[in-house]
A and B are shown apart, each in its own frame.
Chain A
Amino acid sequence: MKHHRIRVSEFGWGEGAFSSSLKRRLLHPKCFAIRLLPQREGWSAARLGGLMQRFLSGLRDGVGFDILLISIAMLFLIAMAGLPLVYNVLMSFQQVDMFTLGSFIRPFAGIQNYIDVVRQPEFWLVTRNTAVFVFFSMAGQFVLGFALALFFAQKFPGAATIRGLFLVSWVMPGLVVGAIWSWILAGDFGVLNAILKSLGIIQSNIFWKSDPSVSIWAVIIANIWLGLAFNMLLLSVGLAGISRDLYEAAELDGANAFQRFWTITLPMMRSTIGAVLSLGLIGTLQQFDLFPAITEGGPANTSTVAQYWSWQMSFQLYDFAKGATISVMMLVLVLFASIIYVRSTRHEVRG
């Protein structure tokens, strides 16, 4: 009760401004909502000042402050992500050319853009490349990342430090990574060919970047290296969350190392694995920097993937409608992955 009385005076209303019965009602906790409503009568200067003060005190110690914090983030998101997204989707249903580029209202095209994109001669090649790129990048990142996470979960001197060093690959900009891998993968002087030859795995140089049959693999190899550390880190966190007692109990119950991994580690990591795979899918579909740095989508589009194609359409061929259409198609895919991600984090099992 005391709390409410203080509030009323803080609002700047004189105690005498209310009839005593009204005051009693307003001071009652259940009538809190009524107090927050503006008075019906005209706006006097005192009342306006009171409103101002109420607003400020709400900011200082009430829900108002939370709303203020959220609204900053929301405004940013709407302006920087929401509107461009809507604009992009809108554009995929419009006829866009160089002359209507600046206007917002353009002739409606229905699904003509989508039909055009699918009819492009390179569409199925790009789709296949994208599928290969996404699947093998994710598989490589996940399997190697999991193996490394398991390795560094063992207790040996320097484990944490060396694991930390692996993060270097994650910190480096994609373009730089691409440039370095471009050198490593170079056909005639690349270090990868030199190593493979000296190990006797290959007899003659593989022209990673210019051979149409392997060019997509050049980018996949670089991408696996780039995403490895992130996968390892998230999976390490998941592994660390499993109590050692469980492994000891399983060991005493008769489980060997493989059975412990299969019956304890994997099911306990379910939500982490779901998150890693979904984020991996998003990250791989976002991967752009490596393409201009290593193959530029070539030769003959054999290493072009959807995200690079979309960029080529929009910013090299200035066919913004098709570029937008391709990116909307990808958006649907990412949305699907996000739903899986959100659902997998909902099924947390930690006892």
Chain B
Amino acid sequence: MTAQIELKNIEKHYGSFHALKNVSLTIDKGSFVALVGPSGCGKSTLLRSIAGLETISSGELSIAGKTMTGVPPRHRDIAMVFQSYALYPHMTVEENLTYSLRLHGVGKAEAKAKAAEVAQTTGLGQLLPRYPRQLSGGQRQRVAMGRAIIRNPKAFLFDEPLSNLDAALRVQMRKEIRALHDRLGATSVYVTHDQIEAMTMADWVVVMRDGIIEQQGRPLDLYDHPVNRFVAGFIGSPAMNFIEGKIASDGRAVNLVGGERIPLARQAEPNQPVVAGLRPEHMKLATGTPTFHFPVGNVESTGSATYLTSADGHLQLVQSERSTVSVGDRVGVEIDPALIHLFDPQSGKRI
């Protein structure tokens, strides 16, 4: 695998605001990388820096081996799909698709043929003579994608492209974008605040917060081995539960504030305060001896799963069986000791 986009020690300042802090990232050719994080974490700034729409304050950015410092966006040969789609409202779908070709002096007939081909790929066949205002949200999304793929760029950049669609369409477009990526053998960078989008679409997930890359890796590695409490809480839905406690004197369990203890699969340094991270889907209603108990404050059933929330709202448990538990019950919970994460209460780092 060769690197298609390489970022080295990227810094970005907006006045006194430090938007990107020493960001280094390698994006392999043909990979689908998701940049994910809460609002204001710098993921969009990073994407726009790759596009050249923002100038980086320092650091080195190269695309396909060429340094991009001072290269304007139009010479970077990358395509971007905007959150607003940014379709040209005064042009038909066909004109939108062929805009870049026409700018590059491609002949009319060739551009028309190319547009028809792209329309076929993206399912826009009948819509070529229409104007963007005559299209639905999903169709506009497809035009934006078509406009990106028509000129076969070095990389595709997606800036939260699905956030203006309704939930059902979003799930469908997720699959279509990924399928398109695979078919074209493209390199894609995808910005989203939705960790499910990141997990399901990407080969490589980059979690950002406050301008820093907190962790990057394959989706399931991030899920299984989050390096800190932030990543642990951000990846996975519903979010991981955090319980404060203290390692027992033998180092083999976490003593909870209420007096109960959660056994550990490994030896930890005794007597240190910790935060235990338990994923809701790893906790089970105890059939044998429960590990610990909590009073139920809320029961939500979706049919396929039941969500139990503790009375104080801090703990959540998901089970796929139908439940007879009702609000006010005190339930016993068991968990596989190997699935327990431990974090330092101060630094939040994984122990």
Contacts and interface: CB of A to CB of B under 8 A. Distances in A.
Interface of A: 243, 245-246, 248-256, 259, 263-264, 267-268, 270, 349-351
Contact of B53 (A248, A253, A259): A248
Contacts of A252: 51, 53, 73-74, 76, 78-80
Contact of B89 (A255, A256, A350): A350
Given A251-B74, A255-B74, 20 more contacts: A243-B84, A245-B84, A246-B86, A246-B88, A248-B80, A248-B82, A249-B80, A249-B88, A249-B147, A251-B72, A253-B147, A254-B74, A254-B104, A255-B103, A259-B103, A263-B88, A267-B90, A349-B90, A349-B131, A351-B133
Given A246-B88, A264-B88, A256 B74 contact: yes
Nearest to A253: B100
Nearest to A246: B86
Contacts of A255: 74, 99, 103
Contact of B86 (A249, A270, A350): A249
A169 B74 CA distance: 40
A229 to B, nearest CB: 28
B87 A351 contact: yes
A6 to B, nearest CB: 42
A31 to B, nearest CB: 41
Interface string B79-99: 110101011111000000001
Nearest to A256: B74
Contacts of A245: 82, 84, 86
B132 interface: yes
A268 B74 contact: no
A350 B131 CA distance: 11
A263 B82 CA distance: 19
Interface string B193-209: 00000000000000000
B129 to A, nearest CB: 15
B74 A253 contact: yes
A256 B72 CA distance: 9
Interface string B44-73: 000000010100000000000000000011
Interface string B153-168: 0000000000000000
Contacts of A263: 88, 99, 103
A243 B74 contact: no
Contacts of A259: 103
B90 A268 contact: yes
26 contacts: A246-B86, A248-B51, A248-B53, A248-B80, A248-B82, A248-B86, A249-B88, A250-B88, A252-B53, A253-B74, A253-B100, A253-B103, A253-B151, A254-B74, A254-B103, A255-B74, A263-B88, A264-B88, A268-B89, A270-B90, A349-B89, A349-B90, A349-B131, A351-B87, A351-B131, A351-B132
Contacts of A248: 51, 53, 73, 80, 82, 86
A253 B147 CA distance: 9
A251 B73 contact: yes
A244 to B, nearest CB: 9
Q: Can you list the 7 inter-chain pairs with the closest CB atoms, starting with the nearest? A: A351-B89, A245-B86, A253-B100, A249-B86, A267-B90, A254-B74, A251-B73
Contacts of B86: 243, 245-246, 248-249
Contacts of B84: 243, 245
Interface in B321-339: none
B90 A250 contact: no
Nearest to B72: A251
A282 to B, nearest CB: 26
A256 B100 CA distance: 11
A71 to B, nearest CB: 37
Contacts of A254: 74, 100, 103-104
Contacts of B79: 252-253
A349 B92 CA distance: 12
Contacts of B131: 349, 351
B63 to A, nearest CB: 13
Nearest to B144: A249
A247 to B, nearest CB: 9
A72 to B, nearest CB: 38
A312 B180 CA distance: 74
Contacts of B103: 253-255, 259, 263
A248 B74 CA distance: 9
A338 B11 CA distance: 55
Contacts of B133: 349, 351
Interface in B87-131: 87-90, 99-100, 103-104, 131
Interface in B128-187: 131-133, 147, 151
Interface string B245-259: 000000000000000
A246 B79 CA distance: 13
A246, A248, A249, A264 interface centre (most CB from chain B within 10 Å) = A249
A261 to B, nearest CB: 13
A154 to B, nearest CB: 16
A218 to B, nearest CB: 40
Nearest to A251: B73
Nearest to A270: B90
Contacts of B89: 268, 349-351
Contacts of A270: 90
